[in-house]
Structure 1
């Protein structure tokens, strides 16, 4: 009681200055890496760090959970390079598309949805997955009569949800680490319900978009479209990849493997696919390094995120915020913790998904424990926070999806995004009151 009484809430609020600077600058489209470094420096000054103690803090950050996530993301991109080089990603898309048989608009949409969910979910990167999908999907979409607007909306909606369904995607790895739940439980109680709400809503909205843009934003169908046809070796390598992937996931679940297990999986799958696809060891590792090099900046960002959050915590920023939000939570009760957390992330924070998840968990973690909120309800709040933000703000995910679809129709993207966001928030409110 004495400790709480002695706490100066105004000094605590000063500890939130790095977070305030972060939000303002990132919303002004400043690159998150230099912003994060600046905020770490501000936090170090507020907490009275000297050069020696600051060096110790950064050394400790290299072994933090976020640094591990950053390494996994780099390895995932390395695996993506191997999958692309061996044409495994292309083969998976081809099998999905032609396994359905594309002869109607609905079948083309369904094939695209499944392809996006599988490839983005496997690679763990929305931009990377859609980059692989686009050259194969666009000729098929054109032949089926899908508009550019429709394809752009589906690229984003499916890509966003694939990132919360794939077992080794950065948001999923982070969520499991923060909430200490297992993948199976998270998938059944959190990811699948949110994905279902999103995809059902998008399916309804995109049909209206397709009807409105079918003639005004159509693709030009080339006379001779050279479509990718997998060879026998590429098909066999893809089947081996799927088998190895399933074995790795099942073993991880049975062995209750931690986050570090993903490192072994990524490297193992890269070697298995590379060798089966006819690549030399030298070529495999060059591809892994090439992929990892593309995410070095993200890794550095994650290393700096750990002291960023710790300095705010040390300065009493999150404690002050909890005390301010306490009356709101008291009015709404236990379910309000998950709801306020979700809305804060959706409309109050922006930046890398992993960073936002970490921020929200640090900001509301004490309230979650204090009120005994279930991890399922809190996980839904965290996921909805990051999905809504990506759907309502015209950010990189939205514009990259339009780019891959060769569309300039931002109106359709925002239209679907706002309706999906409303559906997700309604789901969060209902879920919080039913399962908190």
Structure 2
């Protein structure tokens, strides 16, 4: 099989070499930025392009969709920095935890889970959310006897699910951009079934983990930290943030605003929250820039991903892949394409979630369009492809969550993750068969 019509499949397969190198290296836990640079150079060589063309491609990528996503992610980190500096993040956690009235282990699980979900969905970062959350909730967990294993499982599993719900999280912004689905329909008809299944499975697993580890992996009751108490200023800033956040979401839905509106939301929320928290313009801008600096690496990654995948596409790599995968479409139809895309993403592609989403969509996008597959079904495949990887393999998010919980029990988190991943794959089958 050397050609399909006028298209040379073998040459197209050669253009896939950078993608193959990328998948191999990221599964060896290599840093994604050096990996992407290597693959970009491989793509340049394989496609016969020179350094001038490479430079032009990078400059062009600065105005690409991925670059816009990178900017939004940086602005989100800047907003998170303002929320942290004004103690809005801390106050939200305090209100949730004490609003529930924690005096039992199950209430503690519920309060910590709700706080974790809310904070990470708003901040868009598991590391940042859990860093704020841990010192506030760990003393509460210790007081009712929750184990470190239980809290670590909550931090990891709930945090991962929050990333597919929060309106400004990098995976959600990318998913909406790739599929063209609006936020509200995506949330109601795609994300929530996965979140509901995860929460139900995790809740029952937490009871088992707690019974098994309550005595073997407890917190030190004497290791207390100073309790956080909201000030009138932090309460005022929190109210302003919540009101403006709800208004912005409703306005965006009503106006069917696109990705560009998120940039305005981020800046407006940062300014309003900062002023309400007692900052002046200079202080607010300093915190925004400080937060944005923490995600410059992701922006750089996204700018490099665009020409890297562009070289693969220009060389016919994705077209060759579509030719090779055509038998799956012939045998399994639309459902086969959705399942194949989701499972390859889950078990065959690793790395940053946004990069996974972009690579998956680049690999299967043409087939999705040609087959007329529902974007709701494809969105489900993208969620499975980008989230299951984090549940079944120990990675930075998992190690970070366990570390913030002051635990080292990765096994408990992995067991829960495997069960959640099984449920996610079953839901994907349903979407593929019913909605594709």
TM-score past 0.5 threshold? yes
Matched, 1:300 2:300: yes
Aligned twin of 1:207: 207
Give per-residue Cα distances to partners, 1:37-90, cap 9 Å, x unaligned.
111111111122123222211111000111111111111111111111110000
The answer as to whether partners of 2:179 and 2:379 remain within 8 angstroms in 1 is: yes
Aligned twin of 1:132: 132
Give per-residue Cα distances to partners, 1:103-136, cap 9 Å, x unaligned.
1111111111111111100011111111111110
CA distance in 1: counterparts of 2:224 and 2:353, whole angstroms? 41
What is the deviation of 1:225? Answer: 4.8
> What's the RMSD between the two structures over aligned residues?
1.2
CA distance in 1: counterparts of 2:15 and 2:250, whole angstroms? 43
CA distance in 2: counterparts of 1:253 and 1:405, whole angstroms? 37
Aligned twin of 1:83: 83
Give per-residue Cα distances to partners, 1:153-198, cap 9 Å, x unaligned.
1111111111110111111110010000100110001111111111
The answer as to whether partners of 2:139 and 2:224 remain within 8 angstroms in 1 is: no
Aligned twin of 1:101: 101
1:260 is paired with a residue whose SS is: helix
TM-score of the superposition, structure 2-length normalised?
Answer: 0.98
2:67 is paired with a residue whose SS is: helix
Aligned twin of 1:415: 415
Structure 2 unaligned segments of length 5 or more: list them: none
What is the deviation of 1:4? Answer: 4.2
What is the deviation of 1:431? Answer: 2.0
CA distance in 2: counterparts of 1:37 and 1:377, whole angstroms? 32
Aligned twin of 1:285: 285
Structure 1 unaligned segments of length 5 or more: list them: none
What is the deviation of 1:224? Answer: 5.9
What is the deviation of 1:409? Answer: 0.6
What is the deviation of 1:250? Answer: 1.0
Aligned twin of 1:26: 26
Q: How does 1:372-391 map to 2 (within 5 A)?
A: 372-391=372-391
Matched, 1:325 2:321: no
Matched, 1:53 2:46: no
CA distance in 2: counterparts of 1:142 and 1:434, whole angstroms? 46
Aligned twin of 1:228: 228
CA distance in 2: counterparts of 1:74 and 1:300, whole angstroms? 11
Aligned twin of 1:147: 147
2:163 is paired with a residue whose SS is: helix
1:112 is paired with a residue whose SS is: helix
Aligned twin of 1:343: 343
CA distance in 1: counterparts of 2:62 and 2:341, whole angstroms? 28
Aligned twin of 1:92: 92
CA distance in 2: counterparts of 1:12 and 1:89, whole angstroms? 49
Give per-residue Cα distances to partners, 1:204-246, cap 9 Å, x unaligned.
1121111100110010113765211101221121011000001
Aligned twin of 1:17: 17
Aligned twin of 1:177: 177
Matched, 1:41 2:37: no
**For residues 224 and 57 of structure 1, do their structure 2 counterparts lie closer, same or farther at Cα, with a shift above 3 Å needed?**
closer
Q: How does 1:148-163 map to 2 (within 5 A)?
A: 148-163=148-163
Aligned twin of 1:5: 5
What is the deviation of 1:424? Answer: 0.6
CA distance in 2: counterparts of 1:297 and 1:231, whole angstroms? 35
CA distance in 2: counterparts of 1:326 and 1:221, whole angstroms? 60
